Every structure is written in structure tokens, then in C-alpha cells.
């Protein structure tokens, strides 16, 4: 198992190019199961979750060819299986995304209950209820979801009691081959959903209300779609993370290949803290702040402040003047990084879903353990400003969602080494 050794308080300067968005790539990879035409997907990030999804598609019988490290050609014309087995699905929660396309195209499938980060309950009930509203019969037996719709799926209203990104994505993919019109009410509005809609529209699916909380889908009454090639949008969470690298080290950094309006909640907060930003069409440059002020954050669904950035801002809060408050409203048990930041010297108190962070704290290098994907990046941020050497263990979480993170940070001047545990 690998760990990262980080020398703190090293000056940083330069630029970073943002990779394709993992959270857009995963549903788009799953959606290729709907296509009878070969599809080329560009700007795929080389991260563990993408490789796991590619392996799952291959296991289902899709033909895959990597044309370069970030471009994958997929043909799902002659799938052999409709069973997503436990040994593949357990590796990541996003595997549930194959449920909608397999059920829509083949009228029956068997999908193992998924794995992934240990962040709260994250139940799959919303996915199952959506499939049932389209006419599917669902049984859960021995850890597997058995879904079938012998006469095919039929358009209907799907009302999500709670906003769900992957639930919306599964419903969209299932509805794309359902007969008639489906309305998804209380749909998620993330940019990743918008890109999935564009991908499905390229195959002939009519979708109204893209980018809003109500989507209207007219299914294609064929056995499959003819999807077109696509390039994955830049990763807004990776972009936000590297802006936080600049913010916590108070460095001048330029972030390339981004869509600034996807991260407005993040840039607005950085400006409020005291940073100057030069925002261009596809880049943002952050400049050192004379004074970094404490702040308050409440995580919300897009376009609100993303839950996937609260850990990084908790690390940043340790270096701001005054007391910062972070309220997590979307997931339970998502402050596991707080105790690890405390090992570096952070002054953090927790009360249910609210974290209070006292700033202007001198951090000291130590051994810390990553508990999930975004927590691992928060620990790296803190280690960059800690006095001495830090070691971040269990970075397999990091490898699930960040492409070549240590290479990108080292290119800015950092001293980060990937080493093997003894």
C-alpha cells in the first residue's frame, strides 16, 4: 500500500491543468451500454474509479480499446451479460449507474449492491423507486438487485423525495429507452447531469428542462441508442481543490482547462476570504491575500457550495483569521477528516453536523490517515503548510478521484513523494 510523504512550507508557483470530471465520466461510461454504435470518450481521468467502471463494462461484454491514456473507444453492440457481479461492483458506489441502462435495454438485469466511500448511509432506495415508477419489478435477494420489465419500461412521473445526483442519472438513462414521456421532478442540476443529458440527446433522446429541477424525457422507441463521441467536462472539484492549494499556501497559481461558472460558489467564497482572482473563459489565477478572513459555509446541492469541497475548506480555515463555521447538510458522518487534521495541530470542535475551526493555527507535520476521497486531499493541503514532514496513509482513497495529484503539485514546486508502506 502507498502513502505520500510531504515536506511542508515549500513555496509554490505555476499552473495546473485540470483533468476530466470523474463524476461526469462515470455516468457517461454507464450510458454507453445503451448504444448499439461505437462511442469514443475523450478526457477520461486516469483514476481508479474510471478503471473499475471500464472493467465492469468489459465484464458485461463491451469491447474496449484505450486509444491513448485518456481516450476510450467502447462498443456495447453485442453485450453478453446483464449481471454486474459483487467482485466488481463492491469497489465503488457509482456501479449502481449500470442499473438503468441495463434494465432499459435488456428488460432484465442483476446488479450487486454497491461499495465506495464510507460516508453515511447513501441508500439506493431512490434508484429502485425510480425504476419501479417506470414499471420495473424489483427484488433484493442475497445482496443483489434483481430488476425486470418484461414488456419494457414505460414513461411516468418520477418524484425524488430527496435530490440525488446518481438517482437522477439512473432515471435519465432508464427513461431514454422507455415508451412515452417521463418527467423527473426534483432532479439534481449538477453540470455532470447537464453533460449526461447532452450525451443522451446525441443519440436521439428528447430532453426538456436541462439544467433545471424538472426534466422531461421522450424515450427513443428502439432497442438501443446511437450515441455520438464526447469529451468529458473539466473536473470542478479538482479545480476547486487546486484553488485551495493556492489559497492555503497563499501562493500565486493559475488553474487551466476549467469552466468558471461551474465553480462560482467556490470562487465567491475565496473572494470573501480575501483572495483576488483573475477569472478568464477557461482559466482562473489566484493571487496571495494580504489577510485571510474566517468564513461560514453551508453545503448545498448545486449551484450551492459543494459537499465535496468542505474538507478542503476546513483545512484552509486553519490558516484564516478568526473562527470559521462549516455546516454539512447533505451527508452524515462527513467530518471524519477533522480528527486527522487535529493530529497536525488544527483546532476544530464538532457538534453533530457543524464544525467550528479556530484559525491562524501553526500546523506541525505528523502521520495522518485518509478516510475518504475528499478527506485525503484536505490532509495533503494541511501538510503543505505544516512545519516539517507529514505522511498521509491510505491514499487509495485519493487515487479513486484525483489524477496524478502528486505530479501536479510537484510541478508547482512542492516536495511530495509516493512511497510504499513497509
Residue numbers belonging to the annotated binding site:
22-23, 93, 122-126, 308, 330
320 among known catalytic residues: no
Binding residues for UDP-N-acetyl-alpha-D-glucosamine: 93, 122-126, 308, 330
For residue 182, give the C-alpha cell: 417521463
Nearest to 172 by CA among 68, 264, 97: 97
CB atoms inside a 10 Å sphere around CB 6 = 26
Query: DSSP string covering 5-19, please?
Result: EEE-S----EEEEPP
| Torsion angle in degrees (nearest 10) through CA of 295, 299, 300, 302 | 80
Contact in structure between 416 and 5 (CB atoms under 8 Å): yes
Q: Which cell numbers hold the place of 326?
A: 462549516
Residues 6+ apart with CB under 8 A from 14: 253, 254, 411, 412, 413
Determine the Cα–Cα distance for residues 300 and 223; give it in Å rounded to an integer. Answer: 38
How far does Cα 156 stand from its chain's mean position? Answer: 28
Q: State the binding site for phosphoenolpyruvate.
A: 22-23
Per the residue annotation, which of 109, 117, 197, 320 is the catalytic one?
117
CA angle 172, 175, 177 (to 5 degrees): 125
DSSP 305: B
Alpha helices per DSSP H over 344-415: 373-385, 396-399, 405-410
Contact call for residues 89 and 163 (beta carbons, < 8 A): no
CB 312 within 8 A of CB 99: no
DSSP string, 126-145: HHHHHHHHTT-EEEEETTEE
Q: Would you name the residues annotated as active-site residues?
A: 117
Amino acid at each position: 500500500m502507498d502513502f505520500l510523504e510531504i515536506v511542508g512550507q515549500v513555496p509554490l508557483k505555476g499552473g495546473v491543468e485540470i483533468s476530466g470530471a470523474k463524476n461526469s465520466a462515470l455516468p457517461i461510461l454507464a450510458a454507453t451500454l445503451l448504444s448499439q454504435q461505437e462511442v469514443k470518450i475523450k478526457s477520461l481521468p486516469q483514476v481508479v474509479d474510471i478503471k473499475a467502471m471500464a472493467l465492469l463494462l468489459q465484464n458485461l461484454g463491451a469491447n474496449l480499446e484505450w486509444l491513448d491514456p485518456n481516450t476510450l473507444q467502447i462498443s456495447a453492440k453485442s453485450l453478453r451479460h446483464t449481471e454486474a457481479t459483487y467482485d466488481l461492483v463492491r469497489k465503488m458506489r457509482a456501479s449502481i449507474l449500470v442499473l438503468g441502462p441495463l434494465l432499459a435495454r435488456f428488460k432484465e438485469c442483476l446488479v450487486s449492491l454497491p461499495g465506495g466511500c464510507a460516508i453515511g448511509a447513501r441508500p439506493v432506495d431512490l434508484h429502485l423507486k425510480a425504476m419501479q415508477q417506470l414499471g420495473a419489478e424489483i427484488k433484493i435477494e442475497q445482496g443483489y438487485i434483481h430488476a425486470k420489465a418484461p414488456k419494457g419500461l414505460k414513461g411516468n412521473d418520477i418524484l425524488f423525495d430527496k435530490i440525488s445526483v446518481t438517482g437522477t442519472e439512473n432515471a435519465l438513462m432508464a427513461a431514454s429507452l422507455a415508451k412515452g414521456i417521463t418527467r423527473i421532478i426534483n432532479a439534481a442540476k449538477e453540470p455532470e447531469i447537464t453533460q449526461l443529458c447532452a450525451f443522451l440527446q446525441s443519440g436521439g433522446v428528447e430532453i426538456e428542462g436541462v439544467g433545471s429541477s424538472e426534466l422531461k424525457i421522450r424515450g427513443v422507441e428502439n432497442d438501443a441508442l446511437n450515441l455520438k463521441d464526447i469529451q468529458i467536462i473539466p473536473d470542478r472539484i479538482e479545480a476547486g481543490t487546486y484553488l485551495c492549494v493556492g489559497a492555503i499556501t497563499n501562493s500565486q497559481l493559475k488553474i487551466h482547462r476549467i469552466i468558471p461558472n461551474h465553480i462560482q460558489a467556490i470562487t465567491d467564497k475565496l473572494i470573501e476570504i480575501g483572495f483576488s482572482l483573475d477569472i478568464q473563459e477557461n482559466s482562473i489565477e489566484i493571487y496571495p491575500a494580504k489577510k485571510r478572513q474566517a468564513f461560514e459555509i453551508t453545503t448545498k446541492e448545486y449551484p450551492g457550495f459543494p459537499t465535496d469541497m468542505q474538507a478542503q475548506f476546513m483545512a484552509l480555515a486553519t490558516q484564516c483569521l478568526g473562527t470559521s463555521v462549516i455546516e454539512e447538510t447533505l451527508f452524515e458522518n462527513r467530518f471524519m477528516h477533522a480528527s486527522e487534521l487535529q493530529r497536525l495541530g488544527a483546532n476544530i470542535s464538532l457538534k453533530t453536523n457543524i464544525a467550528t475551526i479556530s484559525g491562524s493555527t501553526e500546523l506541525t507535520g505528523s502521520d495522518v490517515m485518509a478516510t475518504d476521497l475528499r478527506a485525503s486531499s484536505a490532509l495533503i493541503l494541511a501538510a503543505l503548510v505544516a512545519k516539517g514532514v507529514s505522511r498521509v496513509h491510505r491514499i487509495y482513497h485519493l487515487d479513486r478521484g484525483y489524477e496524478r495529484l502528486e505530479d501536479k503539485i510537484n510541478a508547482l514546486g512542492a516536495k511530495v513523494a509516493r512511497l510504499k508502506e513497509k
